[in-house]
Structure 1
């Protein structure tokens, strides 16, 4: 029925589990994906979209590393938007609306087409742990399946409890049962456990909405895509989203149900996501606001089901219905299902190494919401890295750890391991100190070579990346080496109210001016001729534009990152005795004993560790 011993067992088939299983199998490991429902692989439990601010960068990084999320999103997208185009390229963030049913179907088909990957549908009730080492899993039928490594990606299922008004019942997601047993085994092994909360809005019948009362939000005129591979072409046809607003009347109707809300009457004690609050939380915290945005998102090409983004709630269903009917365009709304909140177990991520392997149990990895994160993208990124590192451990190879200046994924994992989290963690561009380096357009340059080196990113990916890099660097050199005349340049500069030149100048210098955009540079005949001669595509042209216009910022961040890396190179021995350094502050000593930082750089990022503490450490280590 099963192999004697699998290299990797992945428990849970959400976004984290799917990426973990794909990565381990594609790296040549015998892999088993165990889930309670094979019909719900990679289900979009919340909104039917991938990407967004900072999250879009993560999806492109996953793709650059050889993960599946970008490809699946491109194949099932119904709308694409590049957010923040009015800002600098460090802030540009791709986002796609997906066909929810097709997204899950495509994930399953891609996983079924992956070699070395087996599937099994059943609840995992516990772990086999011997002498501080994971040996496999136990199922609800009493079956024991052996493994060299295990990756837990349980999402919201561990002792999950769903709340709708006064009603509460066990569940990991609407219509699916919770998972019991794993938490208890982990606590017995010495792990600290906590509780978190998340929520989701009602789903409604799009035929009952009046879109004429809403603001249409179409996709980009020239849509892009997520994957660096040409698996699919950019969208030609797209479906629009719509926007409407709540009102004081809506807020008053919602407040009538606050005494029945599990959030306010004490039944929910755990913390929810700060940056994706429920509608009752919003009107309570922002009482001065007389309206809040509601985004109306279609769930697919053919379904009439609609996701009401911005109306996440756990209020009684009658209150939800009454209040939503007072929103413009929702006067005749029909529910598919009410919104709900869910509480679930998570394990504070300071109990992990940067590989996402636990410190307490050898060979056991955690990824996704079990680590206290929120969002498909954050989960998928952790799953990918856990799958990679589980495979590398089995293969007795060096782990892959991404640094903060190499990837948003590196920032995400370092934040979790070093700082921990007591509320659902979400990625933002502001969390990345090197975001000019970590752009969505260059994730392949940053990550594909290192992924190819470990056997995950394909030869095709590497060839495409090298081609793009070669072409864009040559185009940048063309700008540096090509001069333009006063006669051809000044009309363009004057039209942009930029100071004219008095003698011929290098095109690079002209292009670097903040007022001058790509569309202006494309007016030069020399540029048009170069593009035609070298058959440059949009991706190469835009990459060269960023390299020219932001060269100063990029160089500055590279220098800052080099300084950081010097501290990253100063390793702290695994069993270092902090108690013997009496000049360390008490707080620094206690936190470093708990987190066990691997480098001086990581130690410097621990909350409560001061620059003086870092200096003491450096001196003690002969630096």
Structure 2
């Protein structure tokens, strides 16, 4: 028999990276919140690679932090190796990545959740989402308890009807063999929400005591550590780092895989779900890149107090004995012992085009979705969506306008816009190439772009925001000051230029202009910039990027202005696409399905061409003229 357990403001289903951010944002915004999870020990779990950040993903984590989220702070506490990627390229693609101690990451995040006043953790499975008159009312658990709420955020990750595959073996289970949710999918289907099957996978974990590290290349962390969180300094999080190692597969490895492809559930037809293109299994790599004689394999520690090592690059669902043969063919792993075998996991997810940019369902009011349930992959993508969904659930409860981050404001905006407008036919992964304004959306300026929003919402504390404003003031003041600092053709200046391979001066020049040269750094001119203030490396980096990329930034700002104009061209809610005779059938179907709010959004829908957009603009202008004529005749 059902019984009423409680009345709360909001409910979060799932305790993964999306669920943690959603629950914390709701609670911190004053909403009495319950977070349900199948297992408390799986909160903030890292069932795949125990790292945070990486190419484009580092941008997401910095943006999460700028908005007041927790992921950046948590990895700063629990990292065991930190590295800035892509430093040989421009600042737009510099990406911070940190290897985490996965146990400590879980413990630290659980401690934060436990300490949150408005948040209650429940280890209980949700069986039904309660909906009346197209509005969410709460949830029911498998024990019959009912929790009424004004908003529900679904963050079920890869646990919905999830199934594990290892060779011929299969079982209904979640990541790492944990319990899966086998009933909630039925409730979603009953409420008209379409489900799809996606697939992902993970490699084996091996015993470090059985690895010959001398046969591998050591991979060191950076000596200069950059924090993920803007509330931290490099000095405050500095620690001794643990090494990772690099080795390679070889022809023997590839032959073992080819000889056993018929035993792979991926190639044997047992797996129905679509896997991630940008994170393929080793079987996929060998088949798709048959011309490659080897593939990189990174051996990465899962923590300080464990012997488990993660074998990055060898995700596999082959039978256990084949995985062992495969691993032992790799240099340095000849005598390796497997602690946990690799596996593929298949799970239910929704079509994200059924969501608004707020991540609320278009039909069911108060029902939000975030993370891998939306067809995305990755901890960072999940956390970003969880934060936005949590914020917007809180704003919905307060009858306020939602927080919408557009493509010109953040990678979070690109991520969500891609999902809800373009949709995805495979697990979506964030890439720098997806962000057309990436020079403006650097990870180093995430606070400049988004912290004011985070503060206005109420998630960024006053002291952190005051520190940010001070930083901004210092940057602007120094840029103005060096416009007035003129550098002459003295022997000191010329020797600095010669040492840096820069063309000597023939006349005086402002330091502002001189620092636009790519080969010159702010610190190079300490001897002639004697009145300069003491500046942190973070502030110097901002000054240098602003000067060196000034022309490119101005050009991209013009592009953003064009983008904003199209976003402001709103499509009337009552527009009847079937009346636009020149619109192609495919475009009409896609527009009816997604219901974009602006011409800008419509232009990004797959299947809607520039010609379709032109037809729509002409039709909308004709409607305006007709309305003006009618108004004139009435008056």
Match of 1:143 in 2: 145
Equivalent in the alignment of 1:390: 393
TM-score for the superposition, normalised by structure 2 = 0.95
Task: Give yes or no for contact 1:202–1:308 (8 Å, CA) kept in 2.
Answer: yes
Contact conserved, 2:166 with 2:317, CA < 8 A, in 1? Answer: yes
Aligned match of 2:499 in 483, 495, 499?
495
Q: Distance in 1 between matches of 2:483 and 2:550?
A: 12
How far the C-alpha of 1:465 sits from its partner, in A, is 1.4
Residue 368 of structure 2: SS of its match in structure 1? strand
Cα shift at 1:614: 1.7
In 1: Cα distance, 2:479 partner to 2:308 partner: 47
Output one character per residue of 1:67-100: Cα deviation in whole Å (capped at 9) or x when no partner. 0000000000111111111111101100001111
Query: Where do residues 158-557 of structure 1 align in structure 2 (5 Å cutoff)?
Result: 158-230=160-232, 233-487=236-490, 488-518=492-522, 521-527=523-529, 529-532=531-534, 536-557=535-556
Q: Which residue of 2 aligns with 1:15?
A: 17
8 Å Cα contact 1:5/1:148 also seen in 2: no
Q: Does 1:30 align with 2:32?
A: yes
Against the structure 1 CA distance between its residues 590 and 528, is the aligned structure 2 distance closer, same or farther, given a 3 Å change threshold? farther
1:102 Cα deviation after fit:
0.2
Equivalent residue of 1:621, what SS? helix
Residues 376 and 428 of structure 2 are in contact (CA less than 8 Å); yes or no, is this contact kept in structure 1?
yes
Q: Quote the offset at 1:490 in angstroms.
A: 2.3
Distance 2:250 2:394 in 1: 52
| Structure 2 unaligned regions, length at least 5 | 625-635
The answer as to whether partners of 1:190 and 1:360 remain within 8 angstroms in 2 is no
State how far apart, in whole Å, the 2-side matches of 1:331 and 1:324 are. Answer: 7
Residues 4 and 145 in structure 2, CA contact (< 8 A), matched pair in contact too: no
1:135: how far off?
0.7
What residue in structure 1 maps to residue 582 of structure 2?
Answer: 583
Q: Is the 8 A contact 1:50 1:73 kept in 2?
A: yes
The 10-residue stretch of structure 1 (156-165 or 189-198) with the greater mean CA deviation from structure 2:
189-198
Which whole-Å CA distance do the structure 1 matches of 2:465 and 2:500 have between them?
A: 40
Q: Over the residues paired in the alignment, what is the CA RMSD in angstroms?
A: 1.5
How far apart, in 2, do the equivalents of 1:599 and 1:5 lie? 38
Q: 2: CA distance between counterparts of 1:378 and 1:525?
A: 45
What TM-score do you get using the length of structure 1 for normalisation? Answer: 0.97
CA distances 1:7-41 after superposition (whole Å, capped 9, x unpaired): 11000000000000001111111111000111111
CA contact (8 A) 1:78 1:235 kept: no
Say whether residues 1:54 and 2:53 are aligned partners.
Answer: no
- Counterpart of 2:610 in structure 1 is 611
The alpha carbon displacement at 1:235 in A equals 2.1
Cα distance in 1 between the residues matched to 2:521 and 2:210 = 45
**Does the 8 A contact of 2:159 with 2:175 survive in 1?**
yes
Deviates more, 1:411-420 or 1:140-149: 140-149
1:323, distance to aligned residue in structure 2 (A): 1.2
When residues 208 and 269 of structure 1 are mapped into structure 2, their CA distance, relative to the original with a 3 A threshold, is same
What is the deviation of 1:170? 0.3
In structure 2, C-alpha distance between the alignment counterparts of 1:235 and 1:211, rounded to whole Å: 25
Report how far residue 491 of structure 1 moved: 2.1
CA distance in 1: counterparts of 2:482 and 2:601, whole angstroms: 40
Partner of 2:455, secondary structure, is helix
Distance 1:229 1:555 in 2: 29
